[in-house]
Chain A
């Protein structure tokens, strides 16, 4: 039985190099990419292309866009949306929606402020309270959907309204609680020491390369089809390059080179938290039983149930995680503003996070997507907002552009779905 795993364009290119040299490889790469485009298996490529386009556009308009200082600013700006979007991706993989995340975020923020300032709790108890509250809210909403049977759209819409009310109640008449605790403040206002930035990046790249090579070797030993070594090396080199170049830019190694300018503070701690969460949940969704059950439930809930999967538990757990991630975002938000405030519009926070997940390539129809799309989509939205700020455009233009990008992303998703249907992949 022929059993090669779907050859990726890279693998096909590697095979073509062996067969007919670089020209043949290019042709193979092109036709494989076109095949995938036609059959709707696009993965992250459209959003990466879009992101590069956005970078080029704003850099030509405003020369500080790609400066290290602005990039540092950008990755800090997306940490809140990105963290919420990780939870949204999990919910979308189930084929559901969580509209309450914005309100859960601001409520978590208010709870921290109330605990630390009004009641004088230690910072860690405040954090624990906020995270526990977010998780519990998510679990209750998940229960209402999974067990009682109210559509998640309605349950979490009620949550969007209700938890905002609770937040206003907690904040009371003043509407703002200033939070000056040094630990809370450090989350969004500190940087990873340079040496740690290097250690983390090198360790991550090394671990990734090792695990990929090991897996390929094990597959070969087990007589299963394995990707060619060239492909594994190219792929890990790309990942390592992205990680190491990012750290080098933010650590100021490229000071005064090209457009990077002067900046050497290092990587914002909040961005490290976001990337850490993305890596962790990417692993959970693709490599564990739980992740497999999330995909199965989102793909065909009845099939998952018949296979003996407790889909109610999976659903409740995913909504609880969504609440937990929203409350972590609340923590970062509190740190950035040094306050818990009424001024944030939870509806906009929610919709931006959903937009990020979808722009990043996670399907609204369930069962298809990746946690990485939270990071990529947040980067797209963040870059556009940041770039428009730099060239002096107001919130009016930002909202219009954001809307258009979201529409474009969902259109790509819908067309890809049609392509899959045409290629018999429903």
Chain B
């Protein structure tokens, strides 16, 4: 299944933001931005520093509250006031600084804050069940390089850590995963690992948003490319019909070419 195919199957976007504006004091960070992600596609959100990428993502993830605009999840209007609201709606965000506990093992990190412990969270942890589920999730995402899920994540490589963070985000019936510069600190082989993982998320029918500065990567994983410039959405490209020059031009403020 590829992005274009999935889109024609489900015409209602898994997430749609309409007319989002956000102002910080004198700075207009976002001006009436529309944004939509369909199930089973990877959207690359690109733009220069200060274009409003992070602000837009934080409005969707519940970290910021937009001044204006509406957000729809699968066609239903929703209010997202806190990160917990976003999580409940199936929107997971993996920030650049991973938010893993280095001293805990892979299983403990994947279940952090959502441990299984009967009865009512007061009894002993269900380590066995959690370990099995972690293995299943990693296997279903084809994350094969982690030797043991009982090693502390501190001993994992950057790519493995990113894989754990992403796997954790998608194991809770999430519909949309937002990845903030997922390959920023990684080497070549590890970047390839993470990009392959992103494609598998798409193949499993999730909507994926990737913020990145790397145009080559954009063309490797994204189905659609949305360009922000100075707080406005200035261009949208179908990956297959665009060239890197088009995208860079839009980022730099050359004549916009809306899709």
Contacts and interface: CB of A to CB of B under 8 A. Distances in A.
Contacts of A288: 117, 122-125
A302 interface: yes
A296 B154 contact: no
Nearest to A215: B128
B104 A289 contact: no
Interface string A296-340: 101110111011110000000000000000000000000000000
Contacts of A292: 104, 108, 112, 115, 125
A173 interface: no
A298 B101 CA distance: 9
Given A5-B148, A308-B113, A425-B154, A296 B138 contact: no
A6 B95 CA distance: 29
Interface residues of A, number: 35
A1 B113 contact: no
A58 to B, nearest CB: 36
A424 interface: yes
B128 A426 contact: no
B1 interface: no
B155 A424 contact: yes
A287 B143 CA distance: 27
Contacts of A420: 154
Contacts of A52: none
B144 interface: yes
Interface residues of B, number: 40
Given A300-B99, A425-B155, A426-B102, A4 B148 contact: yes
A404 to B, nearest CB: 29
A142 B101 CA distance: 22
Contacts of B124: 287-288
A1 B138 contact: yes
Contacts of B19: none
Contacts of A1: 135, 138-139, 143-144, 146
Given A224-B132, A424-B155, A5 B112 contact: no
A426 B155 CA distance: 8
A266 interface: no
A218 interface: yes
A368 interface: yes
Contacts of A218: 128
Given A222-B132, A299-B101, A303-B100, A289 B125 contact: yes
A132 B166 CA distance: 45
Nearest to B156: A424
Given A424-B154, A425-B155, A367 B103 contact: yes
A289 B147 contact: no
A307 B103 contact: no
B115 A303 contact: no
A174 interface: no
B226 to A, nearest CB: 26
A423 interface: yes
Contact of A3 (B102, B135, B155): B135
Given A292-B115, A424-B154, A368 B125 contact: no
B149 to A, nearest CB: 6
A307 B138 CA distance: 19
Given A289-B125, A423-B155, A304 B101 contact: yes
Interface string B75-105: 0000000011001000000010011111110
B128 A307 contact: no
Contacts of A287: 124-125
Contact of A303 (B87, B112, B150, B155): B112
B133 to A, nearest CB: 11
B150 A367 contact: no
Contact of B99 (A4, A224, A306, A368): A306
A2 B147 contact: yes
B112 A307 contact: yes
Contacts of B98: 303
B84 A300 contact: no
Interface string A99-125: 000000000000000000000000000
Nearest to B147: A2
Nearest to A219: B128
A191 interface: no
B76 to A, nearest CB: 23
| Nearest 7 Cβ contacts at the A-B interface | A307-B113, A5-B150, A299-B103, A367-B103, A299-B101, A308-B113, A303-B99
Given A306-B99, A367-B102, 16 more contacts: A1-B144, A3-B146, A3-B148, A3-B149, A215-B128, A224-B135, A288-B122, A295-B103, A296-B101, A296-B112, A300-B101, A303-B99, A303-B112, A307-B99, A367-B101, A426-B154
16 contacts: A1-B144, A3-B146, A3-B148, A4-B148, A6-B148, A6-B151, A287-B124, A288-B123, A298-B103, A300-B101, A300-B102, A303-B112, A306-B83, A307-B113, A308-B84, A420-B154
